[in-house]
Chain A
Amino acid sequence: MAFTWIVSRIIRLFGQKTNALFYLLTYRELQAQIVELAKAMDVAPDMLAKEIGRRAARESAQRHASVLSIVPINPNSPEQIKKYIEVLWFVLFGKEMRDYTVRVDDDTPGRQRLTFLLKTCPICMGHEEDVERYKELYKTFSGGETEGYACMMAGMLEDLARIIMENKGLDIRIIVTEKQCFARGDGIMAVESQVVPVEEYEARRKVALSVARSVQQPTPAEAVESGFVQVATQSTKLFAKVYEQLNLERLDTFFENPNEQIKTELSQAIEKQLHFQPKEILAYFQNYEEDIFRVIGYLTVHALNEAGGIIQKAVESYLMSKIIDILLSAIEYGLETYIPEKIAADNKQIVEKLVDGWAHEDSVAKIKAMDAKSMFKLVLEGARLALSDYGQSFTGAKEATWTLLKKTNLLQEEGEAPSKSFNLIFDIVQEGALLAGYIMAMPIKAWFSSEYEAIKTPVTSAQEIYQSSREHLEKLFDLIEEFQTMDRSTEEEKDSSIRKAFPRIF
């Protein structure tokens, strides 16, 4: 699903990636130490390993709470639960779950049980090569109700699931258990996911562990302060607020079910929120049809700001205000250069269908006569007006980019030719700007039912646009990951300020 993929790629950015073999070998050494420690603590090794896995996931989740909140969870069906576990697997490993089937053992609502049957285990693959040396270790995780060797991983998955469900206020939890394990001689890896009520989850027997000492919080003097840090903090809050408004689960449903009666719903929503019928509103714009589109842009920005002052805060940040300037310029540029006439005409057709029956027939005729791209430019004009209300200044993409980069000291030590860092960052910004143009075209089309003949083509166009924009989004994620891993050992000073501000990404 589109948003599941996007969510997975975003979350992967926040992970620190190492060699997969190093991961496997570390896991094995951890388990070996856990077995020894469990004897000293007089607890079962699999229970200790699982508890350590849960706590390990908890630490990461606490750091990345706002990012994890974008994971869509809608556990109403085995299919949704399957998708949820797949996303969590990606969060955990940074790789998709592969070569597996899913068996639905119980689809009772609120008590679903699914078993993932994997042909290869990401935790113990290649264990046969050292089976003699680690025979005793693998044997420890077998027999009776003992969970398999990947129990620590199961604990990580379980707690990741728990934290996200808890943050979203759901009254269910998922218990993840490795039921079959290659390392102990089974022919397959079987990971069971059992949905239970939260009370039942909390009432389970826990391993009594404690660490007596606590970490001292840094003093204010020790806290790192920089413009980047403030932006990073603001962008995290902004991200969470935008997610709340966008409601990814609902958008997912719209993409899946394009046949809903959206015009009816839109009309009902307008009446509910504004206490006006659409017809009454559009009557005010007779002979001022261009203002309809300016007002759409204007009100959208102000409406977004209602959600915790997102726009105000963004404009107050030097970095974010420059990015807004660049993005709006890019969207406008994209309209002229990258949006085909057909796509623009499709959008105009949708607008015509909307206003038809709502606006006066003279207004409808004038709207039909308008150029498609001009409509969008009017929306942007309205958005710019609203942003100016918050203090946003517009200098154009080129000057904004240059000023932004000079301000962030990235160009201070540039030689005559731009460095690889500079080029990568510029490419990242460029791809982000191109993407904005594609994304702008998508939601409008997704809102309409395919029952309207005129809208069938736009719905197809939306799918084509999704494919094109996905390529640019992939490229954007790849560029950011390349920046994360490139050798910047000669750029220590610039690097450290970026790292301090965005420690979770860079």
Chain B
Amino acid sequence: MSVLVTYNQIRNAVGILTEMMEETYKKGGASEQDIIDRLRKMGKNIGTDFARYWEPGQKGVEAMLLSIYKAVFGTSVAVEEPHDRKSNWTYRDSKVYDVVDQRCPLCKEKRATNIAGCELSMGVVEGIFEAMGEKYPNLQPLKAGQVLESKTRGDVQCKHRYLLARPDRK
């Protein structure tokens, strides 16, 4: 499971495909969100299949996120909880986790699209959590929220927001 390969060209291919999908499908009336949903779906498929061969362990959401990003994407990320634990009105009782990735494998430079390559990575994470949730019913499912920052859009880093579907009961 620890075999590493160079991802550069695949990353570029995701970016090029995204631009082509946006160009082609928008002519048929699709919206930006439709393209994002496609990338998320691709990611979820990847995450679900990946989870058949590997599990992140169950040491808490933050630890699982760190583990997933390291094992799947090969990156060391930082996890932030931007909202006070008691104050969660903004996301309607969801707990928020922001993941900061300075070496996002799906983003490199600004592209001719606002759709971030890491929509796919967020789908992967959600897919793994979903697969784990089916296997371990006590596990709280984590949902992909939004891409807050992305190198694809010209930011200096990628930042992904995830939401816990149920609030903590602490």
Give me the interface of A with B, judged by CB distance under 8 Å. 12, 15-23, 25-27, 29-30, 32-34, 37, 40-41, 52-53, 55-57, 59-60, 63, 91-95, 122, 130, 152, 156, 209-216, 218, 485-489, 492, 495-496, 499
Contact = CB atoms under 8 A, between A and B. Distances in A.
A57 B6 CA distance: 12
B74 A17 contact: yes
B6 A20 contact: no
B88 interface: no
B130 to A, nearest CB: 15
Contacts of A32: 42
Given A33-B38, A56-B16, A17 B28 contact: no
B140 interface: no
Contacts, number: 156
Contact of A17 (B5, B50, B54, B124): B5
A60 B12 contact: yes
Contacts of A492: 78
Contact of B112 (A27, A63, A130, A211): A211
Contact of B17 (A15, A52, A216, A495): A52
Interface in B74-112: 74, 76-78, 102-103, 105, 108-112
Which of B10, B12, B25 lies at the interface centre, i.e. has the most chain A CB atoms within 10 A of its CB? B10
B8 interface: yes
A94 B9 CA distance: 11
Interface in B35-57: 38, 42-43, 45-46, 49-50, 53-54
B112 A214 contact: yes
A37 B20 contact: yes
Contacts of B110: 215-216, 218
Which of A22, A55, A485, A496 lies at the interface centre, i.e. has the most chain B CB atoms within 10 A of its CB? A22
A29 B45 contact: yes
3 cross-chain pairs, A with B, having the tightest CB-CB distances, nearest first: A15-B6, A94-B6, A56-B12
Given A15-B8, A57-B9, A26 B78 contact: no
Given A25-B49, A156-B9, A19 B78 contact: no
A55 B112 CA distance: 14
Contacts of B76: 485-489
B146 interface: no
B50 A40 contact: no
A57 B11 CA distance: 10
Interface residues of B, number: 53
Contacts of B64: none
B10 A41 contact: no
Contact of B10 (A30, A34, A55): A30
A42 to B, nearest CB: 10
Nearest to B13: A56
Nearest to B124: A22
B74 A37 contact: no
Contacts of B108: 63
Contact of B46 (A22, A57, A211, A218): A22
B72 A16 contact: no
A247 B100 CA distance: 43
A16 B75 CA distance: 9
Contact of A56 (B10, B103, B109): B10
Given A22-B72, A26-B46, A29-B46, A211 B4 contact: no
A262 B170 CA distance: 80
B117 to A, nearest CB: 11
A287 B11 CA distance: 65
B8 A211 contact: no
13 contacts: A15-B6, A16-B103, A19-B2, A20-B3, A29-B120, A34-B17, A60-B9, A94-B4, A211-B16, A211-B20, A485-B76, A492-B78, A499-B102
A37 B12 contact: no
A37 B21 contact: yes
A23 B72 CA distance: 9
Given A21-B50, A94-B4, A211-B19, A53 B9 contact: yes
Contacts of B74: 16-19, 485
B25 to A, nearest CB: 7
Contacts of B70: 487
B28 A40 contact: yes
Nearest to B54: A21
B168 interface: no
Nearest to A48: B20
